Structures are given as C-alpha cells and as structure tokens.
Structure 1
Amino acid sequence: MTIRLLLADDQALVRGALAALLDLEPDLEVVAQVGRGDEVVAAAVDAAADVCLLDIEMPGCDGIEAAAALHTAAPGIRSLVVTTFGRPGYLRRAVDAGVSGFVVKDTPAAELADAVRRVHAGLRVIDPTLATESLTSGDNPLTARECEVLTAALSGAPVAQIAAQVHLSAGTVRNHLSSAIGKTGTATRAEAARVARERGWI
C-alpha cells in the first residue's frame, strides 16, 4: 500500500528536496505540495493525502495552526511537523493541535521515511531531544491574550497600533505587556517577545 503525502513548506527548494527524497521510498508518494499554511486543508483533502508534512513558519498560517485545522476538518489525515525550529514550546503547541509527529529537518532521510510510516500507522513520533527539553522547560506561563499581544509586539509597533490590531484598549495592552515582561523575567516588551519566541510560546 502506498502512503500518500502532502508537503507544506514555504521554501520551494526544501519542498523539492524533501519530495525527491521521499519519492525514492517504494511505499511513499508525494501527491501534493503547498507553500502556505492556509492551503493545507483544501490541498490535503483534494489530493486524498494520508499524511501531511508541515513546516512551522509559513505565510497564511503557521504549521501548528494548519495541523489544528486539518485535525478538525479531516481527522483521518495525520500530520507530521518537520521543522528547523526545534523549540520545546512549539512541540507542546503541536501536540495540543493534534499532530502525530514532530521531527527536525536534519533528521536522516531513512528516519524521516520511517517516521512517516509510524505516523500513518497511528503511532506518535517525537524527536527525543525535543521531548526531553519540553519536559524540563515547563509550561507556557503566558495567557492566550498575552501571547497575542506579544506576537503583535514582535514588529516593534507602538502600543496604540498593537491595541488596534488586537482590538483592545491601549491600557489593556500595556497591562498584558507588563504581565508578560514579568513572566518572562525580561526588562522590555521587545525582550519579552524575543524570549517567548525562542521558547516557542508564540
């Protein structure tokens, strides 16, 4: 039986390399490729994919959001995150979103193919180093609103602009930023956003 794959990565070169490697396997076939997270669900359903390999950082929506949408729309299609960004917070968010696997891009081709087969068989495949880091790094202390405000703050926009973007008052945004700064042990909102991003919380 051939396992039908969708590849989602905004870098065409990476997608092409992954497709070439996986198509060498006799039981794997790449049936669709997309470069945006918001194209994953429709393309996976249209191509009758069995497993979707998702990068995290993509336009439209990130791979974790795409996995959550896929899990809701087509729960029979499995998702496997394949990313450069091996951050513990990403792993936790991905598992919460319903992904079946999480590996980093420098995984050897044979191991990646095996991960695809195991995910297709209903097993969960997690990079062991990341799993250990995730267990030792603790839970994300930020609320959903604090994450939203910090994500908006990554651009360096002024408070008034962030407030308009997230539909909150400037005072409420300042409160969320202050709380996030305290929880991340940083001195500024820029540092708080950087730390949250490095830990995969946003």
Structure 2
Amino acid sequence: MVAEDMHIVRGALIALLQLEPDIEVVAEVASGDEILPVARATGAQVAVIDIDLPGKDGLTAAEELHEYLPDCRTLILTSLGRPGTLRRALAAKVSGFLLKDAPPDKLANAVRGVLAGRRMVDGDLALAAWDAADCPLTGREIDVLRLTAEGYETVEVAARLYLSAGTVRNYLTTVVAKLNARNRVDAIRIAKDSGWL
C-alpha cells in the first residue's frame, strides 16, 4: 500500500514498485486517516507512508498500524533527513525510514527488507542520528508546541489538551527557555529543524 498525498509522487512510487516482479501495490491512499482501514481491508503486508500527510501524519498512522495491525510493516518516506525525525520514526516502531531522494532501487529493496522483518534505515541518516542531541522537550510540551505551530490560539490548545490557558502559556514559556529560543515562533522553527515536530 502506498500513502502519499501528492498525486504525481504517489503515481511515480506506484509505477516504480509495479516494475518489480515480486511486489504488488494493492492500494493507494492520500491521507493518514485512510491508512488503517484500507490496510485492514486489503491485507497489505507493507505500507509505504509519506511522513507528512493530511489528517493523521505518517508517524501517527504508522503507530496505529503497529498497534492494531502488527503484521503490516511500515516504511516511512520523507524529504526531511533530520536525525530527530528518524528518532521519532523509530520511537513509532516503524520498520524502515527512507529519504525521498534515494535511488529508485533502494525503495524496492527497502520494501523487501521490511517485509522480511528487517529494519531498513538510510545509513547516513542513521549515523547523523547517533550523534544528534536528544529532544529536551517532554511529550506534553511537544503536543502544546505542535498545536501552536498548527495555528491554534492558546485557548484552543488548552481545550484540545484539557488544560487551562495558563498552563498552556507556562508550557510555551518553558519550551522557549529549553530551546534557548527568542519566542514561540523561533521555538517552533528550532523544533522543526531538529525533527522534533
């Protein structure tokens, strides 16, 4: 199964995979919300998932597959070759992590590898992740920062996370301090550049 929201990219991925005699694409979806139900309905053995999808993002969808359909392996594709992104992917229990600018033959080999039960990770990115700093933010701080980055006001973030507006402001102040950022916008930039968001 291929999950990619950009039609041309999705078509190209499917065309590349269908060139392989031992790989059959059984489904394609354009949003993260479709991944679990379609994987269940088709019996997909491997889900090739873009990390940045509308609805549920690729990592959230991969976590759901791992929990509710553990026999379906997940291969995350991303254009963001950042160590923090790889760490988030591994924490989500994905089977593989591949950069979108990898040579085409790597895609088919990665699909075969994850199907065989191996972890398939871009070597250069794995080395960079080894040396990268850990995210200093807690899970709740990341949740608050992610919703803020999506454009929600403090009151809206508070309602979504069942917190008071004052608590959300305190979290954001702590995040700015932990990241040594100038303000919230700078904190969002730092977290995105590091692959923590």
Which of the five TM-score ranges fits, normalised by the shorter chain? over 0.9
Structure 1 stretches of at least 4 aligned residues deviating more than 6 Å after TM superposition: none
AA matched with 2:135:
N
Report the TM-score when normalising by structure 1.
0.93
Which residue in 2 is equivalent to 1:55?
A: 50
Task: Give the stretch that moved more between structures: 166-175 or 184-193.
Answer: 166-175
Equivalent residue for 2:183, pick from 188, 194, 197: 188
For residues 155 and 75 of structure 1, do their structure 2 counterparts lie closer, same or farther at Cα, with a shift above 3 Å needed? closer
Q: Is 1:13 aligned with 2:8?
A: yes
What TM-score, normalized to structure 2? 0.95
Partner of residue 113, structure 2: 118
Q: Which amino acid aligns with 2:155?
A: A
Counterpart check, 1:93 vs 2:93:
no
Q: CA deviation at 1:163?
A: 2.5
1:162 aligned partner, one-letter code = V
Shift of 1:124: 0.6
**In structure 2, distance between residues paired with 1:151 and 1:143:** 12
Q: Distance in 2 between matches of 1:64 and 1:166?
A: 20
Aligned to 2:140: 145
CA contact (8 A) 1:115 1:125 kept: yes
Q: In the aligned structure 2, how far is the partner of 1:158 from the partner of 1:46?
A: 38
Identity fraction in percent: 48
Where structure 1 has 5 or more consecutive residues not aligned to the other structure, the ranges are 1-5
Question: Any conservation in 2 of the 1:45–1:74 contact (CA below 8 Å)?
Answer: yes
